[in-house]
Amino acid sequence: MSFQLQYTSLDEIQSTYDDLQKTFRAGKARPLAWRQHQLRQLLLMLNENQQAIVGALQADLNKPAAESLLGEVGAGIRTAERTLARVEEWVKPELVAVDEWQQSWSPTINKTPKGVVLIISPWNYPFILNIQPLIGAISAGCPAVLKPSEISAHTSALLADLIHKYLDNSTYRVVNGAVKETTYLLELKWDHIFYTGNSKVARIIATAAAKHLTPCTLELGGKSPVVVDAAHTDLKLAAKRILWGKTTNAGQICVAPDYILIPRDAQDAFIEALKEAYSTFHPGGALGSDSYGSIVSKGHYDRLQDLIKRTTAKPVIGGGSDGQRTIEPTVYRDVTQGDALLEGEIFGPLLPLVPVDNIQEAIEFINERSHPLALYVFTDDPEVKQAFVEQTLSGSLVFNDVFQHLSVGELPFQGIGESGYGAQHLKYTFDGFTHHRATVDIPFSAEPILARRYPPYQKA
């Protein structure tokens, strides 16, 4: 029996919006001590409900417990702990360095909360992709509404329950619903909108936000390519790391390796390395494995099946499915331009190998397409690394692994162009929800310096 998520009524959405606007105007969320208390409450929520979170993710995505504890619960705890430890420093006004004649003006950057923020998150990482921006909103002193995905219904229901129990209800709320509820939310005037998802929906959100001149953070996806410089890398280790990235959450990750550009003469050796890694990960096959997840919904499963039918490439690894919601990790060789697998973001466990003649051809292949959210390059050649730094554009550039830039909270996580704009991670999320307000306090004693501005003006 399918789980029925309780949607929020439009009247309740309006009252939630009104309540949070009053809370912001009253300044309730601004004091540092209050923010720190809410962060401690969030940490308490994460620590006390780990098994409930794992259970909800299991119900929605058949996600292995180890993946949930590491990538959702653990990541949330680490982000909240580091934010709590640093927020006191982040909120301090910054006195800026200026020329000597302006030093008496006390030129300062004050960290002012933007206001009430709306956080719209996807189904693929339905817990952490709500929690991370929420942590940023709390640290910035902003009330927030979370709108989780109706597709990951169990996790969305759990979020609503936990936020209500652990956080201040006049400041943080969860709105559940589908298109009608989201459309109504987007008609309201927010002070910032944070959206994680695909570019099609992002255009709808950005259009709605533009009516109110509302700033946005858009964390999108796209096709994140992998380049394997076979002459200057460990093929077996590269295959292991790439396959792990492709099969985590069954490939349903915005920064998942989407396709691999591989030297033509190294394709066969790389396929053998992938086969070895696959047999190590899932000795009995991925279907039915406790270490492998499912596709989130029948609709997305059917979309991937349609992609499998339309590709002209043949699988050399995997290719099976259970007819329900699980698709075996599947590797295709000799994929060429124009193939269905290269049309749009795959967002599933299908991995095309695209043979190229050299590294420069790989760079040109990438540059002919939209800027990816992540670009992965496996090489130990400094010149090749520098070529990708100088000749390509992507949200992030990672050498010799996948995903690990996400674990470095001191780096911004952001897209560029089609993969989004605005940054997040620790202080970057805080900054996104904060207005950096310039202030000067010009003393009357500065009058001799300013006297020349008054008319009548002296002739030059």
Catalytic residues: 219, 254
Please provide the DSSP assignment of 369-412 as one string: SPPPSEEEEE---HHHHHHHHHH---SEEEESSSSGGGG-TTS-
Chain centroid, CA 350 distance in Å: 21
Q: In Å, how far are 78, 128, 178, 360, 459 from 364, measured between CA atoms?
A: 38, 35, 40, 6, 59
Instruction: Give the 3-state secondary structure of residue 82.
Output: helix
d(CA 131, CA 79): 9
Distances (CA, A) of 123 to 120, 147, 155, 304: 10, 11, 9, 16
First and final C-alpha spacing in the chain? 85
DSSP per-residue codes, 31-65: SHHHHHHHHHHHHHHHHHTHHHHHHHHHHHH---H
Pairing of strands 420-421, 216-219: antiparallel
**Per residue, what are the HEC states of 131-167?**
HHHHHHHHHHCCCEEEECCCCCHHHHHHHHHHHHHHC
- DSSP, collapsed to helix, strand or coil, labels residue 79 as helix
Cβ–Cβ contacts within 10 Å for residue 278, how many?
A: 21
CA distance 24 to 67: 36
Taking Cα atoms as reference points, which of 213, 176, 196, 224 lies closest to residue 10? 176
Q: Could you give the count of Cα atoms lying within 13 Å of 191 in the half-sphere of its Cβ?
A: 22
Q: Which amino acid belongs to residue 413?
A: F
- Cross-strand pairs, 174: 146
* Tokens linked to 70: 């590491």
Distances (CA, A) of 108 to 434, 435, 446: 15, 13, 17
How does DSSP classify residue 321? B
Instruction: Yes or no: say if 253 and 376 are a contact pair by the CB < 8 Å rule.
Output: no
